[in-house]
A and B are shown apart, each in its own frame.
Chain A
Amino acid sequence: LAKTTQPISMDSYEGQEVNITCSHNNIATNDYITWYQQFPSQGPRFIIQGYKTKVTNEVASLFIPADRKSSTLSLPRVSLSDTAVYYCLVALRDTGRRALTFGSGTRLQVQP
């Protein structure tokens, strides 16, 4: 399984853009990159998934360079409610073939 490395924690202020980078040097050709968000006392929640280049949805953007050895989750104009733990996962998009492995995640603290 591809191992991921991401910062343990990050601090930001409301209204700023936050970029969380994840390294996955051993990503396989068929692997996708998926990000989850987790609030205290809740299960993780899917944010975004991508394979290459850029993916954007109503919550975030995901930037993946050509070599796919890293990815960056971008949260535009964060608010206090974005304070959470963010997990980067690398796995086959077809989850029916392999379980998703979570790392320790990045704890984002947004301050007023």
Chain B
Amino acid sequence: GAGVSQTPSNKVTEKGKYVELRCDPISGHTALYWYRQSLGQGPEFLIYFQGTGAADDSGLPNDRFFAVRPEGSVSTLKIQRTERGDSAVYLCASSPGLGTGELFFGEGSRLTVL
């Protein structure tokens, strides 16, 4: 498809488990963002990639969260030792990069930690 694709759309896991969430951005978009959204709240910034490198990871809540984008396209958000408080919708967005203010969001991956 032409849009941002996120998988899985839903993930239920148990506390303490490891989780990976995948984002496939729009082809050619150099900028990629991860956000987290809790019920009733606006999206909370986690990390931003320009190409393969993390240009800003100041939003990652702690060292259990890590994200990679090894080839400058697909990105994976990794959460270790999940906690119930990690339950949220994880949104990925991509952008053509420099010179535009428009982000294109995927539909998100809903993570539930039991």
Contact = CB atoms under 8 A, between A and B. Distances in A.
Interface residues of A, number: 27
Interface in B89-114: 91, 93, 95, 97-108
B67 to A, nearest CB: 13
B31 A44 contact: no
Contacts of B104: 46
A42 B31 CA distance: 20
Contacts of A101: 45
Contacts of B107: 41-43
A100 interface: yes
Contacts of B56: 98-99
B42 interface: yes
Kindly name the residue among A32, A36, A46, A93 whose own CB sees the greatest number of chain B CB atoms within 10 A. Answer: A46
B48 A99 contact: yes
A96 interface: yes
26 contacts: A34-B102, A36-B103, A41-B107, A41-B108, A42-B105, A43-B93, A43-B106, A44-B103, A46-B103, A85-B42, A92-B101, A93-B99, A93-B101, A94-B99, A95-B97, A95-B101, A99-B33, A99-B48, A100-B33, A100-B101, A101-B45, A102-B35, A102-B44, A103-B42, A104-B40, A104-B41
